[in-house]
Amino acid sequence: MEANVDISLQISQLNKTGNSKRHKGCAMGMVSTDRKIRYSTFLSKKELDKIIEFYKDKFPLKTTYVRIHSIMVFLCLEPYLENIELIKLCQDFKSHILTREMYNLFPILQKYKIKWIGGKGNKSPADKHANRIRKHPEYANNILTLEKIKKMEAPRKSK
């Protein structure tokens, strides 16, 4: 299966002042190429503020955005990882920066081939799904919260 992943409303745009009434949050959507499988993760403005506060002393703001984006990508892919052969990511960040962050946070993703898509007029199949979830967060499969991020950041015990 090929998984197309795209975000609706960049995390940095959600964090700008004046967006509290216009946008409820941002959404990451994953759609298979045949459009039979759809999965999404939603991040609300309130949770984003908490997450930025949590990371404030650890990372610069731009790194925090890339980190949150990477976590949202992984949460969209996680239920279907055993079926995925190719991951098509929309170029929302510089590809080498996002790839490095995803591999650091989730080493399991290194075994998957990643293809970068996007650009003017080249919409990802996941774009429409992510827009729908952003406008109607009640349909999201997964909600990103500070508690989930704290669980991911907790040191993992080796066996």
Tokens of 44: 């609300």
Query: 135: exposed, middle or buried (C-beta count within 10 Å: 0-12, 13-18, 19+)?
Result: middle
Return the CATH class of domain 2-149.
Answer: alpha beta
Helix, strand and coil percent figures for the chain, each rounded to 5: 45, 20, 30
Distances (CA, A) of 88 to 11, 49, 74, 91, 118: 19, 29, 13, 9, 9
Task: Please state the rounded mean pLDDT for residues 24-28.
Answer: 89
Is 80 exceeded by the pLDDT of residue 157? Answer: no
* pLDDT tens readout for residues 40-95: 999 999 999 999 999 999 999 999 999 999 999 999 999 999 999 999 998 878 88
* pLDDT tens readout for residues 27-39: 999 999 898 999 9
Can you give the residue ranges of every domain in the chain? Answer: 2-149
Does this model's pTM top 0.85? My answer is: yes
Phi and psi, residue 142, nearest 5°: -145, 140
